Amino acid sequence: MIHRRIALLAAGGAFAAPAFLRPAAAQAPAATAPAQAPGFYRFRVGGFTVTMVHDGFFGRPLEGFVRNAPLAEVQAAAAAAFLPTDRQVIPFTITFVQRGDTLAVFDTGNGVTPAGATAGRMIANMAAAGIDPARVTHVIHSHFHGDHVNGLLNAQGARAFPNAAVLVPEPEWAWWTTEGNQTRSPEMQRGNFANVARRFAPYQGAVTPFRPGAEVIPGITSVAAPGHTPGHTIFRVADGDAQMMFLADLTNRPEILMANPDWQIVFDFDGDLAAATRRRVLDMVATDRIRVTGYHFPFPANGYVAKQGNGFRFVPADWSPVV
Amino acid sequence: MIHRRIALLAAGGAFAAPAFLRPAAAQAPAATAPAQAPGFYRFRVGGFTVTMVHDGFFGRPLEGFVRNAPLAEVQAAAAAAFLPTDRQVIPFTITFVQRGDTLAVFDTGNGVTPAGATAGRMIANMAAAGIDPARVTHVIHSHFHGDHVNGLLNAQGARAFPNAAVLVPEPEWAWWTTEGNQTRSPEMQRGNFANVARRFAPYQGAVTPFRPGAEVIPGITSVAAPGHTPGHTIFRVADGDAQMMFLADLTNRPEILMANPDWQIVFDFDGDLAAATRRRVLDMVATDRIRVTGYHFPFPANGYVAKQGNGFRFVPADWSPVV
C-alpha cells in the first residue's frame, strides 16, 4: 500500500503535494521505493530557530582517510561506532539560523550534482522544510572546500541565493584568491583556487570578508579555528543565555575524530594546527556543555560534546517533535 | 518567511498539501510556529522495510523513576547524557515492518490523547509516512501497559486497525485477563486489568495468543523477555542473514537503563526479573552486533548496543537519506 501511494505522488496526480512538501525520496526516479522522511530538523536557541538540512553523503575508501594512524586503528574506531570498516561515509548537514526577517545559512552544500549522486539533496530538503533560497539573507562561510561552497551556484550557474549577502572569513578569502598561494598549498588542495573563483563569480559585489572574532550579524559571532584550511572559522549563535556553536569541519565524523582528536585527515590543509584547534575547541564546548552543530556529524547533526578517555564523544541531542 | 509559508498551509489554501503529507507541527493550532519534520524513519532488513513512527513523549519527575538507586546517581546518569535532571522524558516510537502485502506493527502507541498532549502523534506520523491503519495486517503486542495498547482504539472507541489480526503473548494475555491476578499484581499495575479489557473489547475474534518462542508470522519470531510485565516479549525479524530485534521495554531510555542495567524502574512488574532479562538480552545483541529498535529509545529509535564498563551503551544507527 505504501508503494501505490508513492507511485500516485510521483505521477503528480490531482492530490499530489506541492513539491516543497514531498519527501525527497518520492521525487527520485524509483517510484516504487517507499519514501524516506525528508532530511530536516528544527530546534530553538533563544529567539533563533535553527533548521538542520541534509545534503546527502559522500563515500570514500576508509584507507587513506586518516593520515597519521594505522588503518587497523581507524577500522577499529569505525567498528566501535557500528560504521562500515571499508569506507568512510561522510554526511553533509547544513545549519540554517533564522530570527525575524534574517535567515542565515552556514555554508552551501554540494549544490547541483549528477543524477544518482548520493549528495546534492539540500535544495529538495530546504523545500521540504519550507525554506526558499530567495529568502536567505546571509550566506556565512566557514571555509572554501568544495562541499561547502559548490552550492553557491544553481543549475544555471547563477546565484543559488540571489538575495543573500555572502560573508567570508578574511584569511580564507585572502588565501584562496591569491594565485601565488597555489604552490604553497598541499597538492590536493590546489583545485580549490579555480573552484573558488568559479563559485563566487556571480556574487561580485555581494561578498564581504570579516575578521574572525567579529560579530558577523547580530547574535552570530565568528571564532577563528584554523588548520583544516588557513581561514577555517566556526560560529557562536547567542541570544541572551541561550547559545550554540556551529563547528563546521572542526571534526569530520565525530565517531572517528572526536574519539581520536589528534588524528589528521586527508582533507586537512595543516593537520597539526587542525588537531590543536580541535582539542582546544572541543575542550571548551565540552566544559561549557554548549549545544553544537557540525557539517559532517550524523544527521540531524546537533548535540553535545563530552570528554571521554583521552578524547571526546558526540552526544546527539534528544529528538523533539516540538520545535 | 517560514512563518508566512506555514500560515498559508495551516489555512488550507489552494496549494495546501494533503493532510497525510503535512508536517505534524503544521497541523497544530500555533499556525505561526515553524514546522518540525514529520516523525518517521525507514530502513531495510533484507526484504523487510522497517518504518519507525514517533508517537510523541511523556514527561514525569525523575525522582521516583528508578526504584533501587539514589536520585543523585540517576541525575548524574541523565546529566552525562545531556538529558534533563529534574524530569524523565520518555519518548514513544512504534516499529512497523512491511514485506509484500504484510504490514505488521509492534504495539500501538498511546492512541487518542487530549488536545495539547505531548503524546498521541502516531496516527499523524503514520499518515506522513503513507501508512494507512486499514492496511495493517498484524498488530503484534510486546506487553499490555497502556502506552503500548491504548492505540488499539480510535477516537470513536472502535478498532483503530480494522483489518488487523492481533497477536498477543499467551502469558501476557493470561495474566491481565484473569481477574484473580489483580490482587497478585503490584498496586500501580492494577489499572491495567480494566484498561486491557476496554482496549481489546472491539477485537473479539481477532485476538490470537502465541507462545513466546514461536514464529508469529513468517520471518518474525517471538522471544520471551519477562519481568517488565509477566509476559513481556521481544521479537526477531529475520530474512536470510539480515536480522533485527524489536526490544520493546527491555529498557526504558537507554541513556539511563543500558548504562545501569541493574536499575529497576517504577513501571517494572518484577524488577529483579526485568533486570536479569535485560542483562541477558543486551549481552546477546551486543555480542552479535544485532540492529535493534526500542519503544522508548531516542527517535528514530534504531541502532546497536555496545558493552561499556559494567553496562551497555546505545549507538544510534547512522541516518540515511536512502531507504
Is B176 inside a domain boundary?
Answer: yes
Strands (E), B1-75: 40-45, 48-61
If asked whether residues B47 and B27 sit together in one domain, one would say no
Indicate yes or no: CB of A37 within 8 angstroms of CB of B37.
yes
Query: To probe the interface with B, which of A49, A252, A323 has the most B CB atoms within 10 Å?
Result: A323
Is residue A237 included in any domain, yes or no? Answer: yes
SS3 of residue A131 by DSSP: coil
- Domain identity same for A108 and A238: yes
Q: Per the domain annotation, does A321 fall within a domain? A: no
* Residue A251, C-beta contacts closer than 8 angstroms, at least 6 positions apart: A257, A258, A261, A278, A282, A294, A296
Cβ-nearest to B89 among A6, A49, A318: A318
The separation between the first and the last C-alpha atoms of chain B, rounded to the nearest angstrom, is 31
User: What range does the domain containing A97 cover?
Assistant: 38-316
Q: Where are the alpha helices (DSSP H) in chain A?
A: 2-10, 71-80, 122-128, 146-149, 170-176, 191-200, 254-257, 271-287
pLDDT at B91 over 50: yes
Tell whether B4 and B125 lie within a shared domain.
Answer: no
- What's the gap in Å between the CA of A5 and the closest CA on chain B? 7
Query: Is residue A262 in a domain?
Result: yes
Give domain status of residue B209, yes or no: yes
Residues A308, A315 contacting (CB under 8 angstroms): no
Q: Which of B20, B36, B43, B305 should one mutate to test binding to chain A, selecting the residue with the greatest count of A CBs within 10 A?
A: B36
On whether both B134 and B252 belong to a single domain, the answer is yes
* Domain harbouring B174, CATH code: 3.60.15.10
pTM: 0.90
Mean pLDDT of B268-282: 98
What is the reported pLDDT for A4?
35
Name the closest residue on chain B to residue A116, using Cα atoms.
B322
Contact B177, B203 (CB under 8 A): no
Assess whether pLDDT exceeds 60 at residue B318: yes
Q: What is the mean pLDDT of chain B?
A: 91
Please check whether residues B106 and B253 belong to one and the same domain.
yes
- In eight-state DSSP terms, residue B164 is -
Phi-psi region of B248 (alpha: psi -120 to 50; beta: other; left: phi over 0): left
Is A58 in the same domain as A127?
yes
Q: How far apart are CA B144 and CA A134, in angstroms?
A: 51
Residues of A in contact with B41 (CB under 8 A): 36-37
Query: Where do the H-state alpha helices sit in chain B?
Result: 2-10, 71-80, 122-128, 146-149, 170-176, 191-200, 254-257, 271-287
User: pLDDT-based confidence at B192, cuts 50/70/90?
Assistant: very high
- Domain for residue A185, yes or no? yes
Same domain (yes/no): A23, A42: no
Smallest Cα distance from A255 to chain B, Å:
10
Q: Specify if A323 maps to a domain.
A: no
Please state the domain count of chain B: 2
- Read off the C-alpha cell for A30: 524509483
Strand order in the sheet with A87-99: A40-45, A48-61, A87-99, A102-106, A138-140, A165-169, A207-210
Contact A39 B300 (CB under 8 A): no
Q: What angle do CA A214, A219, A222 make, to 5 degrees?
A: 30
pLDDT of amino acid A34: 86
Looking at the domain assignment, is residue A241 inside a domain?
Answer: yes
Give yes or no for a cis peptide into B18 (omega within 30° of 0).
Answer: no
Shared domain for A33 and A102, answered yes or no, is: no
pLDDT digits (tens, 9 = 90+) for B286-303: 999 999 999 999 999 999
Q: Are residues A54 and A33 in the same domain?
A: no
Distances (CA, A) of B112 to A298, B150, B160, B169: 33, 8, 10, 24
**Matching residue, cell 598549498:** A185
CA distances from A27 to A141, A288, B233 (A): 29, 42, 39
Q: What local confidence, expressed as pLDDT, does residue B144 receive?
A: 98
Quote the minimal CA–CA distance from B181 to chain A in Å: 38
B123 has pLDDT over 90: yes
| Residuewise pLDDT in 10s, chain A (323 residues) | 333 333 323 332 223 333 333 334 333 333 346 899 999 999 999 999 999 999 999 999 999 999 999 999 999 999 999 999 999 999 999 999 999 999 999 999 999 999 889 999 999 999 999 999 999 999 999 999 999 999 999 999 999 999 999 999 999 999 999 999 999 999 999 999 999 999 999 999 999 999 999 999 999 999 999 999 999 999 999 999 999 999 999 999 999 999 999 999 999 999 999 999 999 999 999 999 999 999 999 999 999 999 999 999 999 999 999 99
pLDDT tens-digit readout, B198-255: 999 999 999 999 999 999 999 999 999 999 999 999 999 999 999 999 999 999 999 9
* Cβ neighbours of B35 in A, within 8 Å: 42, 129-130, 323
* pLDDT score of B7 more than 60: no
| Same domain flag for A29 and A173 | no
Q: Are residues B293 and B201 in the same domain?
A: yes
Residues A80 and A1 in one domain: no
Q: For cell 480494566, what's the residue?
A: B194
